[in-house]
A and B are shown apart, each in its own frame.
Chain A
Amino acid sequence: MIVAALAFYLFAFVTVASAVMVISARNPVHSVLFLILAFFNSAGLFVLLGAEFLAMILVVVYVGAVAVLFMFVVMMLDINFVALRQGFLQYLPIGALIGLILLVELLVVVGGWSLAPGASLSVVAPRPLPDQVTNTHALGELIYTHYVYLFQAAGVVLLVAMIGAIVLTHRRRDNVRKQDIGAQLRRSTSSVELRKVETGKGL
């Protein structure tokens, strides 16, 4: 038990510390690296909770894909750090407001956990029992049977967002030279001569 507690405090401390570093680091690339560290330690917390599937998905999706894109963008940007700092006080009130709203919403979620009648029950007696099925089975059963329509709806929302992104950024360009692989493969071989080269001899 002591080891688990120590691990929890380690992960929790590093998560919070790196989250602070994300917003206070001078260099945006360092910020992204600290963000990755925060993701990692959250995954560690998930593992401690016994939510191994979520932990791995967190690493695969957020660290392996989302943060790579962040890193990509941040590295490519030519940022003037001095100019970036100048508007800090000007934007502080609105930033603080957004932070406050997020904090309140988080508190509401935590409050809802204890206020809602069904929620506390499912904490005490979770259905499918965690010691009988693995994480992955339990999640699959919930998502694909009980909540299948909601799950599909979420998928459709993502699809619409994806199509929207493509429509917004796609523009037709003229005089683009494209390689037509099919045409190349259909080309007759008369312009090329195939020769069987004997081993050790050369042409």
Chain B
Amino acid sequence: MVEFLNDYLYPTLWIVAKIIAIVLPLMIAMAYLTYVERKVIGAIQMRRGPNVVGPFGLLQPLADGLKLFTKETIVPFGANRVVFIMAPCLTFILAMVAWAVIPFDEGMVLADINVGILYLFAISSLGVYGILMAGWASNSIYAFLGALRSAAQMVSYEVSMGFVIITVLLLAGSLNLTEIVLAQRKIWFVIPLLPMAVIFFISTLAETNRHPFDLPEAEAELVAGYNVEYSAMTFALFFLGEYMNMILMSGMTTVLFLGGWLPPFDVAPFNWIPGPVWLALKISAVLFVFLWVRASLPRYRYDQLMRLGWKVFLPVSLAAVVIVGGAVVAFDLRPGS
């Protein structure tokens, strides 16, 4: 019995505790991201944004959550019930699961697996299913069109994202996220790979269906796209899943290009601040760009979106793989050799 406790129960409890320690701050961050988004866009458009509920409107996310919680979940008559309910759950779960491999500090990671970056890439490529399933199960033309657009868009941009990740891997020499961050001790990869970082960031905008690539939910054409038929908590799961994905993609950008938990300079006042704080600051900075882009750019047309993905990003990132690979061999930059 004691053996059972020592071998299985306590490790399991420890893992559960770690999961809660990751998920709880994430949930709060996600709720307040919706608030910050409204405030930032308000400031850019010279409005006040939410300011009624609580001081500075700080309780607005709670009020919104409560409202969505008390509403009625409606499943349309012609919908495929099981898939209809499964879709938002899948979207939300996938956005959470990916955090298992993100390192918050050296050794501060839930699962330090060897193929961490591939895991992240795999999970982010699964995000399309939630949307496809929602669009199909809703049995509505608008939702279906939104889902099809989304699927085509996400698959297209994943290709160039994959190539950009390869250029980072060439410099880091490992697929482990901790190793990738540690490889940026001398210089953050955003400096040698600046064009790749830009391509990666734009691709994450397309992956998360954010402005200016939010064609799956283009209000003017598709009402609300894939989530037209969703209400109450099922809608909330989609909505929050999108914000969670934004945080995740910002986290990915930070780990790959902005040196993860590392301070910008390894000198006195900077390295007093603990790693997780740096990570949070960097993620917030990237998230701010997400919001900034949303407030300042008009939506792309669908053919422009596809052109950018296939005719611009794909050749450029493919060429970058060759160039970076050549440079690594020519100047003997191979890490750990």
Contact A60 B114 (CB under 8 A): no
- B122 lies within 8 A of A136 (CB): no
Q: Is the CB of B148 within 8 A of A136?
A: no
Q: Within the assembled complex, what's the spacing in Å between the Cα atoms of A8 and B50?
A: 51
Quick check: which of A10-18, A68-76, A148-156 contacts chain B, the rest being far away? A68-76
Residue in A3, A75, A181 whose beta carbon sits within 8 Å of that of B132 in the complex: A75
Asked whether, in the complex, the Cβ of A33 is within 8 Å of the Cβ of B133, the reply is yes
A-B contact count (CB 8 A): 70
Q: Is B151 a contact of A68 with CB atoms below 8 Å?
A: yes
Q: Is B219 among interface residues, defined by CB-CB distance under 8 A?
A: no
The chain B residue sitting closest to A59, CB to CB, is B122
A interface SS class = helix
B215 within 8 A of A: no
Docked-complex contact A134 and B125, CB < 8 angstroms = no
Stretch at the interface among A50-58, A83-91, A100-108: A50-58
Assess whether B136 is interfacial by the CB under 8 Å rule: yes
Q: How far is the CA of A3 from the CA of B12 in the complex (A)?
A: 12
Number of interface residues of B (CB under 8 A): 29
The residue that B126 contacts in the complex, of A64, A72, A181, with Cβ under 8 A, is A64
- Least Cβ–Cβ distance between A67 and chain B, in angstroms: 8
B residues 105-144 touching A (CB-CB < 8 Å): 113-115, 118-119, 121-122, 125-126, 128-129, 132-133, 136, 144
Contact between chains at B114 and A64 (CB < 8 Å):
no
B247 at interface by CB-CB < 8 Å: no
Q: Nearest chain B CB to A47's CB is how many angstroms away? A: 9
Q: Contact between B118 and A56 (Cβ–Cβ < 8 Å)?
A: yes
Q: Which residue of A lies closest to B122 (CB)?
A: A59
Separation of A29 and B151 alpha carbons in the complex (Å)? 15
B residues with CB within 8 A of A: 8, 46, 80, 83, 113-115, 118-119, 121-122, 125-126, 128-129, 132-133, 136, 144, 147-148, 151-152, 155, 158, 175, 303-304, 307
